[in-house]
Amino acid sequence: MSLRMLFLDMDPGVDDAIAIIFASASRKFSVLGISTVAGNAPIEDTTENARRLVDFLRMETTVFKGASKPLVRPHEIAYWLPGEKRVVPARETQRPDGGVPFHGEKGLGDTRLPRSRSSLRKVSGPEAIVQAARKDPEAVTLVATGPLTNVAIALLLEPKLPTLLSKLVVMGGAYGKTRFGTGNITENAEFNVYCDPEAAKIVFEGFAGAVCVGLDVTADPQNMLYERDVGRFRNGRKASLARSLIGYDLRTYGRFEAHDPLALYYAYDSSAFRTVRARVEVGTTGALRGHTNAKARTAKNGQLIATKVDFERFRKDLFAEINVPQKD
Ligand SMILES: [Ca+2]
């Protein structure tokens, strides 16, 4: 089995963290680096979370701090309003009354990990993406599970990035290809694309062949984890951490939405997915901010939109990989 070289661009984030655990557990992957972005939490928190996860999981990889805010906008996060049982976007300085950050106060639910020990590298997230792609042309898969700010900057730094990478897999967008493909942060927009729509526009215009795992697949209740699944985690370090993270979502929302692990799963086993080719256009203004319009095209310059996943296979592989005890 040949090792797949992965670079992760993310905003941990409870579901990003599950994706990191999955990536670190699988022998299929070598994680070259993790770049962080402002998204589910401010950049200081997403970066510290990524570093704590890397330390806790004893991963031999490096975290690179990326963009602290979207390209042209202030950063907003998703707030859960428990009374109304809905989510609204707001700047951190304008937290809505009674609102709780969707991923918990620091982004990892109520899971507390030891403070990170290593010093942070000077190379920025987007630079690190470019360097990894240049070092091994056509070998690295970039999985982006946060707002696309870093990926857009990387593309501006290196216009050849799409051909230097083996593949780009994005968790983001809602494409109307299934009845679940509607917005989750506004009526029209998925959070990652809403957060930095200008970046998403740059990325979708620049990356022909990018794979988009969006809400069409990840917002389907059949593609989520529930209380009944938790018993399948065993007692190793990785399984315990995953149980703690997912437990927060189960207690708070009654389910775990596997957005980011499902995007990672495309890199793990693309044959578990069905996709359609379409060209994605991103709305950037008014009510269409963050809207992803997937126009069907026969032309080769479109993206691949996931419309279906074999979730049973995902669930089986997730538990099989995470439950293997680490040598310690
Ligand atoms: Ca994420």
Domain CATH code at residue 103:
3.90.245.10
Q: What is the band of 301 on the pLDDT scale with cuts at 50, 70, 90?
A: confident
Within a domain: 99: yes
Among 38, 40, 42, CA closest to 17: 40
Q: What is the mean pLDDT of the chain?
A: 96
Q: How many CB atoms lie within 10 A of CB 98?
A: 11
Per residue in 138-183, pLDDT tens? 999 999 999 999 999 999 999 999 999 999 999 999 999 999 999 9
Within a domain: 328: no
In the reported structure, the alpha carbon of residue 133 is separated from the centroid of ligand 1 by a whole-number distance in angstroms of 22
- Specify the number of domains making up the chain: 1
Q: What is the band of 94 on the pLDDT scale with cuts at 50, 70, 90?
A: very high
User: What span, in angstroms and rounded, lies between the C-alpha atoms of 131 and 134?
Assistant: 5
In the reported structure, the alpha carbon of residue 143 is separated from the centroid of ligand 1 by a whole-number distance in angstroms of 11
CB-based burial, 164-203: b 16+ in 10 Å, e otherwise: bbbbbbbbbbbbbbbebbbbbbbebbbbbbbbbbbbbbbb
75 belongs to the catalytic site: no
Collapsed DSSP state (helix, strand, coil) of residue 131: helix
User: What span, in angstroms and rounded, lies between the C-alpha atoms of 228 and 225?
Assistant: 8
Looking up tokens 């009654």 gives: 254
Per residue in 12-64, pLDDT tens? 999 999 999 999 999 999 999 999 999 999 999 999 999 999 999 999 999 99
Cis peptide before 13 (omega within 30 of 0): yes
Q: What is the band of 1 on the pLDDT scale with cuts at 50, 70, 90?
A: low
In the reported structure, the alpha carbon of residue 113 is separated from the centroid of ligand 1 by a whole-number distance in angstroms of 19
In the reported structure, the alpha carbon of residue 9 is separated from the centroid of ligand 1 by a whole-number distance in angstroms of 9
Within a domain: 291: yes
In the reported structure, the alpha carbon of residue 85 is separated from the centroid of ligand 1 by a whole-number distance in angstroms of 21
Within a domain: 12: yes
Within a domain: 327: no
User: What span, in angstroms and rounded, lies between the C-alpha atoms of 39 and 31?
Assistant: 21
Instruction: Tell me if the pTM is above 0.85.
Output: yes
Q: What is the pLDDT at residue 297? A: 66
Within a domain: 246: yes
**Which residues, listed in sequence order, are joined to residue 77 by a DSSP beta bridge?**
90
Q: What is the pLDDT at residue 328? A: 45
Q: Is the pLDDT of residue 201 over 60?
A: yes
Q: Please pick, among 75, 103, 259, 291, the residue that the annotation labels catalytic.
A: 259
Per residue in 248-266, pLDDT tens? 999 999 999 999 999 999 9
Structural domain containing residue 172: 4-322
Q: Is the pLDDT of residue 299 over 70?
A: no
